[in-house]
Chain A
């Protein structure tokens, strides 16, 4: 399994690639992507610098285009994407079917990667993507290893990328969730909600389930492990180190019970996990 980690700046990409990431993925401000500008590289030039850095180290870079855009903006998005690919970007992560089709038609010289927010929960969707030249599918973080077996073992040679326990992502199915827009707040799903006067937690996997998913995806044959971009890069550095340790355990061939036991110790050594999971009642 290769590690694909998100970077918000050149410096972050530098650290991640030096620390062992096989690929980094970046959004660029003003190109359509799923997060806000604080999680983006500032300019196309900064992205090009990242691709040069990655190439020097024999690593790869993905460009995020994982949000929809107006039809009138698509030609400009395609033009800039082609220029970034020419500069060395190896893969483009796309959400929108229209943009996917357009980039395929333009014969983009980069791997087309279907975003997790395209919600690929079954192998039948791959039949749709295959004629569009898709090389890789990122599974939604609410897809489970046993459910994804046919996607992972697909006959088309499409690779799969899975999230490293998605506790930094949304609790509910993204982008089916529109709670934040409705409430004009950030991560409503993690607010201190109440029901009948008592705390209410929108449920998600507990720690053993998260660790179990990493173990099962690895053994199911998923090729890439995705680490999300985090607002606080210190958190991301800790999680990156955790992912490296977990992968080392998997490569060593530890049993599932041992992986869960050792993994839990490593999991709670990460300060943000401890803060967000250790003290909450959880599901």
Chain B
């Protein structure tokens, strides 16, 4: 089982090489906030400090954010050293197929996974093949079996945070995508209501719940660890 640590860029800048001990992969970026795309310096630092492989993680993307992503693709991917990219946006997926197919390895992110799961199976199989998708990210234990019918597909499982919703309006700084002071760094908010089955957690731009354990499924060969703050703020 491969073990990955997921960090957004501000978290990565606070983490030394010792913090990556025991992990073979670094997931750098964020699946829910385009302000948390890594900068070139973050990837350079990862090349320098981390002996494992770095995976570029991306959310839904505006044109500006796709441009930033493409600059990273040009600088950090090659036919000899394919860059694994977690993709949640159709525009980026199409771009990767059109221009970077020989330089990247495509993984569908958790947002796109929900789009994939409702596609008719025969269409989905063609779609995955056409876009060179080798892996899908999941965090819902009910889902791995849904993807078992796709030959050769591998699954990653995220723990201990399962996302249920996301916003593009920053809940921490109260603005739409724009200059970011990384106010979410190290913070998590616990949200309650009598009708919620369990407390909801706000982490970055995603709302979700705390989960325990990794489901035993033959296709899951990678666990992606997200370090949640020990305490929740208000």
Contacts and interface: CB of A to CB of B under 8 A. Distances in A.
Nearest to A68: B118
Nearest to A71: B120
A235 to B, nearest CB: 23
B51 to A, nearest CB: 34
Nearest to B167: A172
Contacts of A125: 89-91, 94
A124 B190 contact: no
Interface in A184-214: 185, 188-189, 191-198, 200, 202-205, 209
Interface residues of B, number: 49
A231 B233 CA distance: 37
A188 B196 contact: yes
A71 B89 contact: no
B164 A177 contact: yes
A131 to B, nearest CB: 11
A154 to B, nearest CB: 11
Interface bin, chain A: 35 or more
Contact of A176 (B63, B91, B111, B189): B111
A127 B94 CA distance: 8
Interface in B122-173: 122-124, 127, 164-171
Majority secondary structure of chain B interface residues (helix, strand, loop or mixed): mixed
Contacts of B61: 121-122
Contacts of B118: 68, 96
Contact of B165 (A68, A126, A176, A204): A176
A87 interface: no
Contact of B123 (A101, A182, A209): A101
B234 A177 contact: no
B219 interface: no
Contacts of A171: 167
Nearest to B64: A147
A62 B176 CA distance: 31
A173 interface: yes
Interface in A148-172: 149-151, 171-172
Nearest to B118: A68
Contact of A96 (B62, B119, B189): B119
Of the listed residues A101, A124, A149, A203, the one surrounded by the most CB atoms of chain B closer than 10 A to its CB is: A124
Given A71-B121, A147-B62, A147-B63, A200 B207 contact: no
Contact of B94 (A124, A177, A179, A197): A124
Given A71-B122, A193-B192, A177 B62 contact: no
Contact of B196 (A74, A97, A126, A183): A183
Nearest to B192: A194
A176 B195 CA distance: 21
Interface string A25-56: 00000000000000000000000000000000
B191 A74 contact: no
Interface of A: 68, 70-71, 74, 96-98, 101, 118-128, 142-144, 147, 149-151, 171-173, 175-179, 182-183, 185, 188-189, 191-198, 200, 202-205, 209, 283
11 contacts: A128-B90, A144-B177, A147-B64, A176-B114, A182-B209, A193-B192, A193-B200, A196-B190, A202-B207, A204-B167, A283-B169
